[in-house]
Structure 1
Amino acid sequence: MNHQAPVYVRRSDDAWLTVGYYHFYAWRGRRPFWAGLFTLLGGFPIAYFPYADVRLGNITLAMATTAGSGSLIIGILLITLGLALWFQQGIRVFAGVASILLALVSLPVSNLGGFFLGFIFSMVGGALALAWVPGSPQEEITAPAGDTGKAAAMAGSPQGIPGIPAPRETETVHASETTAHADGGRNSAG
């Protein structure tokens, strides 16, 4: 091989997928994502089953009830609460309580809460919304002057693991006659 020949780096067409995944991962970490997803998924069967009909050959089975509009309202409210949890994480307590209450109301109103499928999803989503607490931001690690790149991210970390601060150095104090009683009564002099 010629060491002076230009090197062409083939750009991966999947690079945008990787970047998109990491952006989504970071977005998901700053909000009650799973609570919103379960609440959103719980609203669909509650709103769908009262209006669904199953065709078996020439026979049509309709599961419509007299409370179809109530089921639709409960389902749409749960879907809205699920989306609100994603984009307005400040209302997580309200959305969690409302999701649990709507799931309980869906039992008698909407075909046993969408045949228990929507009920379970909504209850889990509401519980996750109530349990989620926003995390505190990490301390930024300051790198020594002139240090850049990977070494800057690992500055002060044990074994070079980024994000874990190094243990703090403690002061060693030797016992004397004045500190002997603070050390459990032991005297260092003898």
Structure 2
Amino acid sequence: MNPQAPVRAADDAWLTAVYYRFHAWSGGRPFWAGLFTLIGGIPIAYFPYADLRLGNVTIAMATTAGAGSLIIGVLLITLGLALWFQQGIRVFAGVASILLALVSLPVSNLGGFFLGFLFALVGGALALSWAPGKANGAQGDAAADKAEAYGGGPLGVPGPRDTETDTAYATETTAHADGGRNSAG
């Protein structure tokens, strides 16, 4: 191998590209809220149907509310996925996952032995507290930046004029917003 040949890091290039794509994808959505909500639904749906075998002895946690546990778990998993792909429903999904976590306490073996309950509760709280951030240079942001610089209102209607700084047409008798008069004529 030639020592003057350029170093090619093709082995790690795909991993770096995947990392940056995932980081860009998860940065614009309530990723952790969806993950906690999704993880919270798994033990709530699993424990009522699980059985533990110790030799010839089978220990089953089956309850009469197995169908309710399955419904709550599947709904929490669905809400977790919806938080990833539909950010607009984050308030609804947050409130719904908190309510489902609370309902899972009496219905589903103490909310999946408090494990699913805590994960769903934290996921719902994260969904309610998440707010979309400002995009930084992605495609389509040119129009948003142009609209922000314009300062117009909705549907292209111009916004209110700042009379403090817009004194180009003020005369000596023009009153300003603060009640004073323009002394520069």
Normalising by structure 2, we get a TM-score of 0.70
Could you say which residue in structure 2 is the equivalent of 1:132? 130
2:25 matches 1:48: no
1:12-50 Cα offsets, whole Å, 9 max, x none, are 212100010011011111000000000000000000000
How many equivalent pairs are there?
137
**1:1-190 equivalence runs, <5 A:** 7-138=5-136
- RMSD value, Cα: 1.8
CA distance, structure 2, for counterparts of residue 14 and residue 136 of structure 1: 30
Distance 2:62 2:97 in 1: 23
Deviations along 1:107-144, one digit per CA (max 9) or x if unpaired, are 0000000000000000000000000000123479xxxx
SS of 1:65's equivalent?
coil
SS at match of 2:53: strand
The structure with the greater share of residues assigned to helix is 2
| Structure 1 CA distance for aligned equivalents of residues 8 and 24 of structure 2 | 27
* Deviation by residue 1:74-120 (Cα, 9 ceiling, x = unmatched): 00000000000000010000000000000000000000000000000
> Quick one: which amino acid aligns to residue 45 of structure 2?
A
Q: Are the structure 2 counterparts of residues 138 and 17 from structure 1 closer, same or farther at C-alpha, using a change threshold of 3 Å?
A: closer
Structure 1 residue matching 2:33: 3-state secondary structure: helix
Change (3 A) 1:138 1:45: same
Normalising by structure 1, what TM-score? 0.69
SS of the residue corresponding to residue 55 of structure 1 reads strand
Paired with 1:17 and 1:53, the residues of 2 have a C-alpha distance of 39
Query: How big is the shift at 1:6?
Result: 6.8
- Return closer, same or farther for 1:6/1:136 CA change in 2, 3 Å cut-off: closer
Give the direction of change, closer, same or farther, for the CA distance of 1:139–1:86 in structure 2 (3 Å limit).
closer
- Give the residue type in structure 1 aligned to 2:72: I
d(CA) in 2 for partners of 1:11, 1:65: 55
Instruction: Indicate the SS of the match to 2:58.
Output: strand
Runs of 4+ in 1 over 2 A off after TM superposition: 5-12, 137-140
Secondary structure at the aligned position of 1:13 is classed as helix
Q: Could you list the runs of 5+ residues in structure 1 that have no partner in the other structure? A: 141-190
Q: Percent identity?
A: 79
